[in-house]
Structure 1
Amino acid sequence: MEFKVFAKKLKNVIGGKSNTKLFTKTIFETMMNESGPELLADTSLETFKSYFNGNTSISKVAALILANLNESDEFPSYLEGFGETTAQLLADEFKNDIPDINSVNASFKITDLFFEILREAAGKEKSTQKSADKTPHDILEEKILASGQAIADAWGNAVSNLVNGLDRNSNAGTTSVRLPEEQPNESLYSSEDNLLLEEFTADYDEIMVILIGENYAASLIDMTLPCKIKDLYETKWMSKADTFADPSLKSYVFGLLGELNNISNSFLVSGSTTPFLGSSRTKIRNLYVKLHPDQFAGTFPYDAFIDDWDDGENY
């Protein structure tokens, strides 16, 4: 069943006076975990309307939903909240599409169908495992686990392809973006900027080290890193970064925030890896050095050294 058919059938029964835009947004968010509203926030209402009418493919949003599923029975509970009479109406509406549906199992049967529609839209193969002897709840749990693994595999393949591409272009034959040897030196910034920089690097060092390391793909695949980047920026550094006094230091900070946000948004919003991830990792390595002047300043011509890196040199 296509999503537009499913959505219209569902709205016929539970849509009430809500418009197609809000109705579609609501059922998507209800299928997702607590991150759902935030992840869908940048999707326009007109796009939701287009999803409902079938004018726009749901493939990307389906992949996003499957990667952020609600692991409780939120969607069945949402349907059950309309009452027993509505449950019978739902069963009647979908009786030609779902075998053995009735007012008792309607919420789980319809949820199961929704999963199948999302998985098919996201390009996943339908499960061939027989489920005749399983309860609707068991089926739902299996769909959650299977869908999550399918999306993880998809992300893994995408990032693996990217890593392989980087391998082929790397003289060193490794996917890590190496840092120079540490050469401690005194910082040139004010005490206030040094304290603020210490706080900033405490928040972002781990993120930078992961992204320039060999195993960066794992944290991108499970969405841990993109979500952490987004949260740190929106709750703290979007405003606090402007309090740095030194203009050069401030430019490094905003440069890093920009690169990290580009990576985060490519996963959370568009549902795909940015084609510039390789160059972004190199820029993040360079900015890591610039944000640790006490470790890497040394006696070499610092600015010229970084400029060479910016031009694509590998050290």
Structure 2
Amino acid sequence: MTSRKEVRDLGRSNRQTADYFPHYVGEKSRTKFILEKNWGNDGYAFWFKLLELLCAADGQYYDCWDKMGWEYLLAVTGVTAETAEAILNTLASMGKVDKELWESCRVIWVQSLLENLRQLYSKRTAAPTKPSVDNFPGRRVESPAQEPAAATEAEGTPPAVPEPAPEEHDKPKAPRRKAGSLSAEQAERFDRFYAAYPKKVDRATAERAWAKINPEPDDAATDRIIAAVEAAKKYDSRFRERQFTPNPASWLNAKGYMNDYTGGEQRGNDDGYAGFTPSGGFGSFG
């Protein structure tokens, strides 16, 4: 007969979660340096909270595909969606997060974490293995926290696609642009903005943020956005030190170009960037 202790030990030996992970003190870490340089304490905390989350996850990977999974990651790490996206893209480009799984499936896998837990898993029946992209069929990443497709009226019946009007058949179709990419005209305007912005990090994320501005900035609007950058350099206390300066993507997503410094205070402008009026007043910023 199997004893209770043997049953308990057997259950433990099959677990693919961890209650701890090594945190080496004093070791020069390129990852920590880059995260702290770009995002300060938020970057440092995000990385170690992510490792804690992975340790607690069965199989030691985390799936951000559905909205609830993504929202939970943001709640645990305490950062905005834009910051989380930028940090994870940076970690993927550094090879710390598996690039293929993240970019194709929005699944987070950190191989170095498993290697640091090798001693723990040597006492168990099996260690987790990296999931394959094939384990997540039908995924196509366009934006974070994908919403499930709406159900059709009849189960299993694809939605009807209306036939185009006869006169439309001969109309040339404009080439489809990848979501978040910029036209040549908008790329030139973004280049002007990026050249003026004092902190040059995560350009690709910043380009996606520029592409989301609605309506698309024309030359005049681009001039006003650049004027807003110059005003922020003078009157926004965050721009005095690089470590506190928002990343360009974060500034664009937060509509920093709508801030109005008239009267010596920073405040939102409901009229959009078209109504930006820089002022010589010096504000008090908390």
> Which has the bigger relative contact order, CA under 8 A and spacing at least 6?
1
TM-score, structure 1 normalization: 0.30
TM-score, structure 2 length as denominator?
0.32
